[in-house]
Amino acid sequence: MFARLLQHEWRVLRADATVWVVGALFAAGIGYGVLNGVRWAGFERAALRNAAAEESERYEKMQEQIAGLQQTARPVAAFGDPRNPTMFGSRFGPRYAMLPVGPLAPLAIGQSDLLPSYFKVSTDARETIVAASEIENPHRLLVGRFDLAFVLVFLYPLLILAVTYNMLSAEKEQGTLALALSQPVALGTLAAGKVALRALLLVGIVVSFSVLALLVAGVSITAPGALARLALWLTAVAAYGALWFALAVLVASFGRPSATNATILATLWLVLVVMLPSLFNLVATTLYPVPSRVEMIQAVRVASDEATGAGSTLLARYYEDHPELASGGAEQAMNDFNAIRVAVDDDVAKRARPVVDRYEQQLARQQQMIDRLRFFSPAVLMQDALNDVAGTGTPRHRHFLEQVDRFHAQWRGFVVPLIFQKARIADAAAAPRFAYEDEATVAVARRVVIGALGLTVPAVLMTGIGVRRLRRYPVVA
Amino acid sequence: MVKRIARKELIEMLRDGRFRVLSVAVLAVSLLSLAVGWKHYADVARQHAAAQAATRDQWLHQTKKNPHSAAHYGVYAFKPKSPLAIVDTGVDPYVGVAVWLEAHKQNEFKYRPAQDRTAVGRFGDMTAAETLQVLVPLFIVLMTFSAFAGEREQGTLRQLLSLGVPPRRLALGKAAGIGAALGLVLVPSAVLGVAALMLTSDGGFLSGSLARGALLVAFYLLYFAITIAVCLGVSARARSSRLALVVLLAFWFANSLVASRVVADVASWLHPTPSAVEFQTAMDAELNKPGEMERRLEQRKAELMRQYKVDSVDALPIAFSGVSLQEGENHGDEVFDAHYGRLFDTFDRQNTVYQIAGLAAPMLAIRSVSMGLAGTDFQQHRHFITAAEEYRRLIQRTMNGDIMAHPTTRTSYLAGRELWEKVPEFEYEAPATSWVLGNMRWSIGVLFAWLLVAAAWMSRPLATAML
C-alpha cells in the first residue's frame, strides 16, 4: 500500500513543472555554495602555506647569517644580530601558530573568514599577537558568504515548506481527498506517504548534489576524520529537515486552506530563520555588552607607562620571583635593558590580565546565553552544527587560541632565560615549534549530536501532535 | 480621482487584520532596533571620546626624552562613531576601532567588534536599516500582491475599468494608498529616530547629520516607491493572486537575502585580495630592499652638503641623524602608500561591482547608499585611515625636524613638553555629504533607473493585461 502511495505521489509531483524548476535552482545553489566553500578553503590553505614558506625562508637566511657572524669577529649592531635572544624572540625568530583547514571545511565557511587561522607568535604581548587579522573586505564580512551552509540553513527549509504546505489542503480543495480516503487507506498513512516521498526527494537532492559537488571539486572524503564528519553532517541535514517537515505536518493538521497554511509557514520561517537569530544577538550583546576595546588599549598603555617608569624596581622583584635567572648576579644585570624589558612586559601582562579577562568573561556570558537561546531557533542550531562539522566554528577556534597561549608561554620560556644568561642563539632550529592538536572527533560529535537532538525532539513532538490531530481532520471543506 | 482611489485603498488596508498585525510587528522591530542602536552609539561614543582625550594627555605628559623615543611611544587614534550609525551600523563591526600611530610603521586598525561577539552575530544585526531594507519590503509585498490580482479574481476590476477609470490613474491611486498606509507605520519611527539624533549629537555634528538623515529618508522613500511599483506591476500581470505572491516572495528572497552574498563573492573573484601574510611579506620585502636606504641617504648627504656648502656630514649645521630618520619615514611612506593604496583600491573596486550589481537587485544599491549616508561604509573608514596616517606622518616630521634642529649626538638630546605641544591635537573631520554622494553615484543612478523602469512597468501595459 505504502509503496503504491509513494508511486502515485511521485507521478503527481513529476508532472508538476514548478517542482522541477525549484529542484534545479536548489541543485544550482548547492553547486555554487560548495564551489565557493572550496575556493575559500583553497585560499586559506594557500595562506597557511605562504606563512610556512615565509618562516622557513626567514630561518634559512637567519642560519646563514648566524654562521657568517660566528666565523668573523666583525662587530654587529645588537638590534641586527639574530643571535641576540631579545631580537631573536621578537623579530628574527617568531614562528607561526597555524590552525589547519579541516578536511570538510568547504561545507561551511562559518567564522573562518573573521577569526584568523594563523598568528605570528613572538615574545610580544599576547594581546598584540592575537589582535592580528586576515585581510578581507569588511563589506563582504558584513553580507556573509553564499556557502553550502547558507543554502541549507535558509533555502532548504523554504523548499521543504514549498512542497508540503498544501499537500493535504490542495487535495481537499480539489475534492480528491475524500475520494482517496474512500479507498482502504488511513489519512495518517496517506500523509506519511506524501511526507516520506518529499523527504526522500529533498534530502536525496541535498546529499547527492553536495557529495557530488565535493567530489568534482576534488575534496577527498576519505581523508582521516572526513567520513565521520560526513556522517555527522548527514545527521544534521536529516534532523533539520525533519524539524521543518514536522512543522508542515503540524500546520497541515489544523485543516486550514492552502493559502492560510502558506502564510503561517512562511511567517514561521521568517521568524525562526531570519528574525530570531538577530534578536538573540541583540539581546545577548545588550545584556552582556563587551565594551569597546579602546578601554583595553588604554588600560594596557597606562600599565605599560607605569611599569616602564618602575623598570629597575620591577627587575629586582622579578629576580626575587625567579632566583634561578639571576645567575650572573642581579647587580650586573640590573642595568641590562633587555632584562628590564622582560620584567616590564611581564608586569604589563599581569596588570592587563584582569582587563582582558573582563572582555573574555563578558563574551563567555554572551556565548552561554546564546547556547541556551539557540534551542528556540533551528537556524542557529543548524549553523552551529554545520560549522562544527566543517571545523570553522567558534569552539574549534577557541581550542586553537588556548594552544596559541600555551605556545606563547613556551616561546617566552625559551627566550627569556637566554636573555638573562646573556647567551647567544647558536642553533635557531632549536626554537620551539607550534604543533596543533585537533579536537577529538568525539568532542565535535557530542556538540553536533546535542544540536541534532535539539532539532529532533521538537520534530518528534510536533509530529506526534500533528498525527493525533489528523484523526479529527475535516476531510471535506 | 487618484486621491479617491488612494483613500479607498488606505481605508481597506486599515480594516485588514493582516495590516494591523504586520504594522505592529514592523513598528515594534524598528523601535527596538533604534533604541538599541542609540544605546550602543552612546556607549561607544563616550568610550572613544574618553580614550582620545586620554591618549592626548599621555602624549603631553611624557617625561623628557629624545624625540625619536617619543615617536616610538606614539599615540592612538580611535575611530569616532557617526551619529547616524544609530540607523545603520554598516561595516563598523567588521573594521578595527583603533590604530597605533608610531615611528617607522603604518599599523593596521585593530580590534574588530565582531570578533567580540558570538557566531550568531553573522546572521545580521537587527538595525533600523536592516528593518527598512528587509522587513519593510516584505511588508509591502504582503500588502500589495493582491492589489490587482485580487480585484480581478473578485470581478471588481472589470467593473472598475468599465467606469472609464484610466488604468494608469488606478495604479497611481493604489500606489498612493499603500504609500500612505506605509507612512502610518514608518513616520513614528522616523520621528523617534530624529529625536534620538538630536539627543545624541552636539551642536557641530547636528547640521551635517540632519542633512544626511534627510537624504537617508529620501532614498529609503525612493526604495519603497520602487518596491511598491514592482509589486503592483506584478500583481497587474499575474494570472492569480497566488502566483503574484509566489513571484514577489521569490523576488524578495533573491533581492534581500541572496543577491548580496552572491555579488560580494563574485566581486572578490573579479578583484582578488592577498592574504595577510602575503601582503606583509611583500611590503616588508620592499621596506627592507637591500641598498635602497643607503642609496637614499647618500643622495640626501650629497644634497645637503651642496646646500650648506660644506664637504663633510659632520660639518653640517643640522643633525644628520634626524635627516636619516626622516628619510626612513619618507621611504616607508612611499611603500605604505603603494601597498595599502593597492589593497584599498581593490576593496573599492569590489564595492563598485556591488553597487553596479544593484541593477539586478535594488537592495544592493540602497544598502550602499544607506551605509554611505550613515557614515559607516568602507570608503569613510578609509577616509579616517588616511587622516590618522597623515597625523602619524605629521608627528614624525615634527619629531625628526626637532632632532635635526639640535645637532648633538642623537641619544643625548632630550626634548620636553614644549615639543610635545607642537603636535596639534588629532581632530578628525568627517567628509562632506557631497563627497559621499559622489562615491555612491553608481547606486544612486541604479535606484533612479529602477524607479523609472518600475514606474513604467507598473502603469504601461495595464489595460490589456489586466482583464
A286, A363, A379: residue with CB nearest B36: A286
Subunit contact B354:A139, Cβ cutoff 8 A: yes
Residues 6+ apart with CB under 8 A from B194: B210, B213
Nearest chain B residue to A114 by CA: give it.
B115
Pick the range with the lowest mean pLDDT from A103-117, A463-477, B334-348.
A463-477
Question: What residues of chain A lie within 8 A of the CB of B48, using their CB?
Answer: 292, 294
Cα A238 to Cα A215, A234, A294, B25, B333, distances in angstroms: 21, 6, 45, 32, 56
For B80-99, what is each residue's pLDDT tens digit?
A: 888 889 899 999 999 999 99
Report d(CA B67, CA B245) in Å as an integer.
Answer: 70
Around Cβ A389, how many Cβ atoms within 10 Å?
A: 31
Residues 6+ apart with CB under 8 A from A206: A26, A30, A152, A156, A237, A241
Q: B residues 12-51 near A, CB within 8 Å?
A: 29, 32-33, 36, 39-40, 43-44, 47-48, 51
Subunit contact A297:B76, Cβ cutoff 8 A: yes
Report d(CA A390, CA A104) in Å as an integer.
Answer: 5
Nearest to B409 by CA among B320, B286, B278: B320
Residue-level pLDDT at A77: 72
Report d(CA B314, CA B16) in Å as an integer.
Answer: 90
Residue-level pLDDT at A318: 67
Residue-level pLDDT at A325: 64
Q: B residues 370-409 near A, CB within 8 Å?
A: 377-378, 381
B32, B115, B262: residue with CB nearest A115: B115
Question: What residues of chain B lie within 8 A of the CB of A131, using their CB?
Answer: 110-111
Q: What is the pTM of this model?
A: 0.91
Residue-level pLDDT at A190: 86
Average pLDDT over every residue of B319-342: 94
Subunit contact B120:A285, Cβ cutoff 8 A: no
Subunit contact A144:B122, Cβ cutoff 8 A: yes
Subunit contact A270:B40, Cβ cutoff 8 A: no
First to last CA, chain B: 21
Average pLDDT over every residue of B3-28: 85
Which residue is it, cell 542550531? A381
| Confidence band, pLDDT 50/70/90 cuts, at residue A334 | very low
Cα A25 to Cα A29, A161, A241, B278, distances in angstroms: 6, 15, 18, 37
CB A425 within 8 A of CB A85: yes
Question: What residues of chain B lie within 8 A of the CB of A279, using their CB?
Answer: 126
Domain boundaries of chain A, sorted by first residue: 1-273+391-477
Of A262 and A33, the structure prediction assigns the larger pLDDT to A33
Report d(CA A165, CA A184) in Å as an integer.
Answer: 25
For residue A56 the three cell numbers come to 622557513
CB B177 within 8 A of CB B6: yes
Question: Can you spell out the DSSP letters for A131-193?
Answer: T------HHHHHH----HHHIIIIIHHHHHHHHHTTTTHHHHHHTHHHHHHTSS--HHHHHHH
Taking every pair of C-alpha atoms in chain A, what is the biggest distance, in angstroms?
104
Nearest to A386 by CA among A148, A219, A225: A148
Question: Can you spell out the DSSP letters for B369-438?
Answer: HHHHHHT-SHHHHHHHHHHHHHHHHHHHHHHHHHHHHS-S-GGG--B-HHHHHHSPP----PPPHHHHHH
For residue A121 the three cell numbers come to 607568535
Average pLDDT over every residue of A209-234: 88
Pick the range with the lowest mean pLDDT from A180-189, B101-110, B266-275, B304-313.
A180-189
For B297-307, what is each residue's pLDDT tens digit?
A: 999 999 999 99
Of B264 and A187, the structure prediction assigns the larger pLDDT to B264
Nearest chain B residue to A279 by CA: give it.
B126
Residue-level pLDDT at A414: 94
Residue-level pLDDT at A277: 94
How many CB pairs below 8 Å do chains A and B form together?
207
Q: State how beta strands A118-121 and B75-78 pair.
A: unpaired
- Pick among A50, A135, A141 to test the B interface (most B CBs inside 10 A): A135
CA A285 from chain centre, in angstroms, equals 19
H/E element, B215 = helix B203-237
Average pLDDT over every residue of B123-146: 90
Subunit contact A110:B76, Cβ cutoff 8 A: no
CB B157 within 8 A of CB B240: no
Report d(CA B153, CA B156) in Å as an integer.
Answer: 8
Which three-class secondary structure state does DSSP give residue B102?
strand
Report d(CA A361, CA A174) in Å as an integer.
Answer: 59
Which three-class secondary structure state does DSSP give residue A121?
strand
The count of C-alpha atoms lying within 13 angstroms of the C-alpha of B48, restricted to the half-sphere facing its C-beta, is: 19
A18 φψ region: left (φ > 0), alpha (ψ -120 to 50), beta (else): alpha
Subunit contact B278:A47, Cβ cutoff 8 A: yes
CB B378 within 8 A of CB A137: yes
Report d(CA B16, CA B21) in Å as an integer.
Answer: 9
Residue-level pLDDT at B410: 47
A134, A141, A294: residue with CB nearest B97: A294
pLDDT of A459 above 80:
yes
Q: Residues A345-358, buried b or exposed e (16+ Cβ, 10 A)?
A: bbbbbebbeebbee
Report d(CA B112, CA B97) in Å as an integer.
Answer: 6
B90, B120, B126: residue with CB nearest A370: B120
| Confidence band, pLDDT 50/70/90 cuts, at residue A297 | confident
Subunit contact A301:B275, Cβ cutoff 8 A: no
CB A201 within 8 A of CB A9: no
Subunit contact A274:B134, Cβ cutoff 8 A: yes
Residue-level pLDDT at A330: 46
H/E element, A2 = helix A2-14
Report d(CA B115, CA B99) in Å as an integer.
Answer: 16
Average pLDDT over every residue of A344-373: 89
| Confidence band, pLDDT 50/70/90 cuts, at residue A299 | confident
Subunit contact A292:B113, Cβ cutoff 8 A: yes
Subunit contact A298:B48, Cβ cutoff 8 A: no
Residue-level pLDDT at A331: 47
Nearest chain B residue to A365 by CA: give it.
B118
Average pLDDT over every residue of B440-467: 83
- Pick among B123, B258, B439 to test the A interface (most A CBs inside 10 A): B123
Pick the range with the lowest mean pLDDT from A126-140, A168-182, B52-66, B286-300.
A168-182
B110, B120, B260: residue with CB nearest A143: B260
CA B415 from chain centre, in angstroms, equals 41
A142, A262, A280: residue with CB nearest B91: A142
Residue-level pLDDT at A374: 93
Report d(CA B369, CA A291) in Å as an integer.
Answer: 29
Distance from the B162 Cα atom to the nearest Cα atom in chain A, whole angstroms: 30
Subunit contact B347:A139, Cβ cutoff 8 A: yes
DSSP secondary-structure letter at B101? E
Around Cβ A402, how many Cβ atoms within 10 Å?
A: 10
pLDDT of B223 above 70:
yes
| Confidence band, pLDDT 50/70/90 cuts, at residue A420 | confident
Subunit contact A370:B268, Cβ cutoff 8 A: no
DSSP secondary-structure letter at A475? -
Residue-level pLDDT at A477: 63
Q: Which residues pair with A118 in a beta bridge?
A: A98
Nearest chain B residue to A147 by CA: give it.
B261
H/E element, B355 = helix B320-356
DSSP secondary-structure letter at B291? T
Residue-level pLDDT at A235: 95
ipTM over 0.90: yes
Subunit contact B44:A292, Cβ cutoff 8 A: yes
pLDDT of A237 above 60:
yes
- Pick among B100, B275, B280 to test the A interface (most A CBs inside 10 A): B275
Residue-level pLDDT at B462: 60
Residue-level pLDDT at B204: 47
Residue-level pLDDT at A308: 77
Which three-class secondary structure state does DSSP give residue A98?
strand
Q: In what order do the strands lie in the sheet with B75-78?
A: B75-78, B98-102, B105-106
Of B106 and A346, the structure prediction assigns the larger pLDDT to B106
CB A144 within 8 A of CB A112: no
Subunit contact A282:B111, Cβ cutoff 8 A: no
Nearest chain A residue to B98 by CA: give it.
A294
Q: B residues 116-145 near A, CB within 8 Å?
A: 116-126, 130, 134, 138
B165 φψ region: left (φ > 0), alpha (ψ -120 to 50), beta (else): beta
DSSP secondary-structure letter at B77? E
Single-letter residue type at B285: A
Domain boundaries of chain B, sorted by first residue: 2-466
Which three-class secondary structure state does DSSP give residue B78?
strand
Subunit contact B121:A285, Cβ cutoff 8 A: yes
Cα B430 to Cα B130, B393, B434, distances in angstroms: 24, 19, 12
Question: Can you spell out the DSSP letters for A253-272?
Answer: TT---HHHHHHHHHHHHIII
CA B298 from chain centre, in angstroms, equals 45
DSSP secondary-structure letter at B110? B
Of A70 and A412, the structure prediction assigns the larger pLDDT to A412
Question: What residues of chain B lie within 8 A of the CB of A374, using their CB?
Answer: 120
Report d(CA B1, CA A425) in Å as an integer.
Answer: 91
Question: Is any Cβ of chain A less than 8 angstroms from the Cβ of B344?
Answer: no
Nearest to B245 by CA among A262, A17, A274: A262
Subunit contact A294:B118, Cβ cutoff 8 A: no
Residues 6+ apart with CB under 8 A from B199: B38
Report d(CA A190, CA A184) in Å as an integer.
Answer: 11
pLDDT of B466 above 70:
no
Around Cβ B286, how many Cβ atoms within 10 Å?
A: 16
pLDDT of A378 above 70:
yes
Question: What residues of chain B lie within 8 A of the CB of A142, using their CB?
Answer: 90-91, 93-94
Report d(CA A214, CA B393) in Å as an integer.
Answer: 50
The count of C-alpha atoms lying within 13 angstroms of the C-alpha of A367, restricted to the half-sphere facing its C-beta, is: 16
Report d(CA B405, CA B67) in Å as an integer.
Answer: 11
Subunit contact B277:A284, Cβ cutoff 8 A: no
Pick the range with the lowest mean pLDDT from A59-63, A419-423, B384-388, B407-411.
B407-411
